[in-house]
Structure formats: C-alpha cells, structure tokens
Structure 1
C-alpha cells in the first residue's frame, strides 16, 4: 500500500492481504518489541475469485468486480487503523488466470495496491513461515499441508530452511466443482490420488522424511474444530492436551459421516458444526485431506492457526528488522494458540483492547519512575507476563460463567505445551 515509509523501530501495525481462490483475507497485526505478532483485526470477504471462470481459466467479470469491492473495503479499514505498511499477495486463482494482469492493473490504478502474484513454491514457503509463528517447531523437520480453494501447498522444512516445496492443482473449490460434474466420490478420490502420485511429491517426501505433519488452512482448522467440539468420543472434549491436532482415524470417521448418502452434503456439514461459508466446500476438502494422509503416510497432524498471511508479515519483519528471529519465543506462540483455541465468542477482541490499555498504563508508570529517580523498575519482560495473563484470563468462559476464572487456571495448568 502506498504511503510514507515508517521506520521499523517506530512501526506498530503491519498488514497482509491474501487474495485467495475462495475468499480474500485481511490481517492487521501489532508487532511487539520482542518480535511477537499479535493479531488486531481480521476481515474476510467471500469473493469466490475462482468461480465462473472461462474455459481458459480467465477471471470472470463479476468475480473481478467482487475482488475490487473487497479490496476497497480492506483499504478503508487500513486507513481507519492508520496502517502504513501492507503487502498484497494473490494465489492460485489469479496465478493461473490468463487475464490476471488486467485485474492487477485495475487494483493498482483504483486502490494503490501493488499485488504480488505468488508462485506455488513461494506461497508454500510463506505458509511455512506463518506456521513457525504459531507452533514451536523451528528445530524439527516438518511437512506442512495447506489446502486452498484452487491449490494445495506442500512444504518439507527444517530450521527456517525449505527443503522442498510444491503446489498442486487440488483445491476445495475446484474439487467441489469436479464432484458436481461427476457426482461420485469414488471418481473424486481416484482423481486426487492420480494427481498426487503423478507429481514428484510422494518420492520427495519419502526421500526427505518428516517428524511432524502440520495443517495450516481454514479447511483443516475447520475439520479439527468439528472433531474437537462435536467429537466422536465425549471424553476427548475434556482432554485439553489434544486440541489443535487429530488423527487419520478421526478424519476417516468424519469423511464417512460427510459422504454418507443421507441427508444432503450441506445438511450433514451443518450438523457436524461447520460454519455456513465452509459447508459448501468442506466435503471435497475433507476427502482431499484423507487422500493426502493415506498417500503420504500421515498418521496424525498438528494444526496451525497461522498460515499465509502471518508468513507474509513475518517476511516483512525479517526484511525490515535486523533483530527479528522467525524461530523465537515458542512460549509466547503457545499462549496465543491457547487463547485462540478457547476464544468461543471472539473474546480475544476484548482481551486485545485490554492489552492496549494496559500497555499505556505500563509505559506511563515506567516514565514516572524515570522522572523520579532516573531508573525504570519495570522492564519489557514484565509486560510480556501481563500480556499473557490478559489473553488467557477469560478462556474458562467457554465452559460457563460460574467459576470461569478457576476453569481458566485449570486449562492453563493442564495443557501440555504451556
């Protein structure tokens, strides 16, 4: 986004816009002095850029209008928040569109956004950077799977270095359209397996190996949420150590329920807890993920709350801040992931507002100390503890108002990664 450059040390807000095949997403984050990312605002517009394409893959005129309208609303949000540094990236739907330059030019002329159309490998690499902001896996060899609307990205990486990255034309939107044309889940599974096995992916994964598989897309997060909250074992809902992960068996049972003959696919998705905008595409996404599990030999998958947008911001900080370390402070990321897991009614927004007020008070007290005797008794590390407390103190509300503070304490105490 155009505007006067902001010195890295003074900058507090950065943003990323992801022009995806199914939806456009805006992430505005506050950057803390230690390099933490704290999401302040998330906006999402169901643009459906990949819908109604011409035979050659060109973006349809009505989709182009929806795209510009969504980006215009994002632009207004950025101005209201006084965000001076933002990056806009586009993925599979625009990457494969012959008329992509027309949309990119129009967006630049009308809104001032410079759109980076990512290659599949570049998208995969940025997804990996986003995962590192959420899970303490910097020193582990991980396989990242990110299911988008028009493609799925795969990364094998270790210690911030990508060992292999690829993008396959398998997305939940395109596969839903395939299923609508063929009307047979057997054909859908065969097609997915064919694409997976004809790519170098399977051999490369076998060659490099991986310690942990990580899923980072909205589709995978929705699947995990359905398994965790609606569950197949009532005791699982009380086992706080199991959130943000699921097994092949659990996924297989979910796919079996989603693909059973009756009732309709959308109605089945509704009953299993999938949100309205996700229901139309979740069946194809779940079938795709199960085929990936079986083809690549995945038994269990960790789930990241962060993906491409966070990776884009992470790279922006890496370029602008010499002291920024993409593998730093796993404890802080575990605090954020726990807060997000139990944010049943978007209570994170209230917590973040409290963090802002607390920061002003904290800085005021520090300045007062310095004026009195020249020494600051409070240090930045002290505020880190306060931030964590503010983000986590309400998580027990997910299970009711009465005694929620005690439930918050129990959750924090029992979750293994805190």
Structure 2
C-alpha cells in the first residue's frame, strides 16, 4: 500500500498553521507527525473591521502558502485539507482569495462557519487535554473570532462563536498600540463584553464548568510568559498548566507597559505584543464572571480536530 501523507492547513486571522502527517496503515494506530509549523500572516490587519482583507495581508497570505506548498512537495504530501475561518468568512474579497489560492497552488480552501470551527477546536483540544467527565470551558481567541465551548471529554453541551477576535478588539479599543492600555479602555472593553457575551454568561450560569482550557496563540504566549521564555512550535507540549496567579501577574505587566516595553517581556512573540493585551482583558473578564480558578492551555486546536475527525471516520 502506498504511503499516504496528509497536510492540514488552518488559515486563521492571525496565524496560518501547517501540519503534515503520515497516515497510519491500520485503523487505531496514531498518525506519524512529519512537520508542524506556523506563520504570522495577520490576515485581518488593517481591514477586518472594515469587512475586507487589506492588500498587504492578502499578499502575505499568498507568500505564506507558497512556502507551505514547497514543504508539502518536499514531504511528498498526497492529500490536503485546508480550512479558513473568521477573516475569510466575513471579508468581501475572501472568495477572491480562495479562488486565487486554488489557481496558484491547487489548494481548495474550505471556509468554515463559526459553529463548525468550535466543534473542531473541541475535537482537537481533547487530543491534548484530558477533559474528563466534568464540564470545562474551552476558549479559543483568534484574530477575528472567539469560540467558547462548554464540554467534557465525550460531549459538547454548548458552543458559540463570536466575531470579537483580538484584531477586532485592537481596532476598536486600542487606537494607539504604541502606548500603555489605559484604564478607561479596559473598562470600555469589559463593558462591551457585558453587552455582546450575554449568551456565554447564561451558559456559564446554567452549566457551571469547573475549569478553563485555552486553545490559541494568546494562551500559548501567557504560558511562555509563565516560563519566562518563548518556546518554538516543536517545544510546545500538548498541555500546560497556567496558574491563575501567573496569569494575573502577566496581565498586570501587559497593562502597565507600552509597546516597546511589552516587546522586552520574556516569552512575548512580537506579533502578539499588543493583541495579547486585549485578549488578556477578555480572559480576565471570563474568569471574573465564571469564578473559574484552574487554567490549562492546549497546543492542539482546529487542525488537530480535523485530523481526529478524519481518522474517526475511517
């Protein structure tokens, strides 16, 4: 039987991810990971709040996919599954970018709805974090949208995607990212969550999850800050415990520094120096309304969920 190698591409609003695996010959065996890489594309920069992908991010997307295509050819990939989320979902020129990707690289991109995104995130997270029988709140802060899922290891009890991702929050509440994020901006962002996240509050009150599992670059960055150094994609373990005290310390550091000072903090990826501020405000708000005191981070999310779904189907 010929070797089957699968590439999974997750085209997020901030980051494009590529995972290449060799599929198992027999059912029940795990796939063999060949490559895991990512690129900071910032697809939503300068345009997502206006409903379009700006020219520079559009070009970055094509440049990144050209590199991914090279990696896929080097690794002898025989099948590709590519998904795109919030930026492509809402941008007027998203369909044009999908067509151009197909024309240039022969990659068919599936633009997925928010609910589907949330389900795949849960499928991916449970490969990395032993959720167990108790309900957990899973949270993925993307650049364009944020997914909330209340689930245990076997079942999703509630899920919803909100178009309030970190790039949108940055555009709305952080007009001068070079400076310190003022208390008035924090209060305005929190008041905004009070307005738009009513369904989440109702679900938390009804289902009472016992812990928070964060599945996104923002949570990876907070875990890196806890460790005091930036980890590569290969160095990330599937799961990390993030102490609430560590989060609160990092949150205070992020709020009290300007852009240049945030860049100097250990564990900060330059692309996230400002986005992490607005994301941390959201995490703090969620902890406050839920009363949750346990945080775990998951290095697995959408693409691992898609892989798990494909293997289960076979």
Task: Measure the CA separation in 2 of the matches of 1:189 and 1:301.
Answer: 23
State the shift of 1:126 in Å: 0.5
- Among residues 12, 25, 45, which one is paired with 2:17 in the alignment? 25
State the shift of 1:125 in Å: 0.8
Higher strand share: 2
What are the superposed Cα offsets for residues 268-302 of structure 1, whole Å, 9 maximum, x if unpaired?
Answer: 34223313333242222222211221123221111
Task: Measure the CA separation in 2 of the matches of 1:137 and 1:54.
Answer: 33
Task: Measure the CA separation in 2 of the matches of 1:97 and 1:175.
Answer: 17
Pairing 1:222-371 to 2, within 5 Å after superposition:
222-229=221-228, 244-260=240-256, 262=257, 264-319=258-313, 321=314
- Does the Cα contact within 8 Å between 1:56 and 1:98 map onto a contact in 2? no
Structure with bigger RCO (C-alpha 8 Å, 6+ apart): 2
In the superposition, relative to structure 1, how do residues 54 and 294 fare at CA in structure 2: closer, same or farther (>3 Å)?
closer
The alignment partner of 2:43 has SS state of: coil
Q: Which stretches in structure 2 are left out of the alignment for 5+ residues?
A: 230-238
Task: Measure the CA separation in 2 of the matches of 1:229 and 1:72.
Answer: 33
- Does the Cα contact within 8 Å between 1:150 and 1:171 map onto a contact in 2? yes
Q: Structure 1 segments of 4 or more deviating over 6 A? A: none
- Among residues 39, 48, 60, which one is paired with 2:33 in the alignment? 39
Larger Rg: 1
Match of 1:413 in 2: none
Pairing 1:179-190 to 2, within 5 Å after superposition:
179-181=173-175, 184-190=182-188
In the superposition, relative to structure 1, how do residues 129 and 266 fare at CA in structure 2: closer, same or farther (>3 Å)?
farther
Match of 2:45 in 1: 51
Match of 1:364 in 2: none
Match of 1:15 in 2: 7
Match of 1:396 in 2: none
What is the root-mean-square deviation in Å for CA atoms of aligned residues?
2.3
Task: Measure the CA separation in 1 of the matches of 2:34 and 2:223.
Answer: 24
In the superposition, relative to structure 1, how do residues 203 and 174 fare at CA in structure 2: closer, same or farther (>3 Å)?
same
Match of 2:167 in 1: 173
Task: Measure the CA separation in 1 of the matches of 2:191 and 2:35.
Answer: 38
Task: Measure the CA separation in 1 of the matches of 2:217 and 2:273.
Answer: 12
Task: Measure the CA separation in 2 of the matches of 1:18 and 1:186.
Answer: 35
Task: Measure the CA separation in 1 of the matches of 2:32 and 2:210.
Answer: 28
1:151 aligns with 2:145: yes
Match of 1:383 in 2: none
Match of 1:123 in 2: 117
The alignment partner of 1:244 has SS state of: strand
Match of 1:205 in 2: 204
State the shift of 1:170 in Å: 2.4
Match of 2:95 in 1: 101
- Does the Cα contact within 8 Å between 1:216 and 1:305 map onto a contact in 2? yes
What are the superposed Cα offsets for residues 205-235 of structure 1, whole Å, 9 maximum, x if unpaired?
Answer: 22122233211111101101211337xxxxx
Match of 1:216 in 2: 215
TM-score (normalizing by structure 1): 0.66
State the shift of 1:54 in Å: 7.1
- Does the Cα contact within 8 Å between 2:211 and 2:293 map onto a contact in 1? no
Task: Measure the CA separation in 1 of the matches of 2:278 and 2:266.
Answer: 15
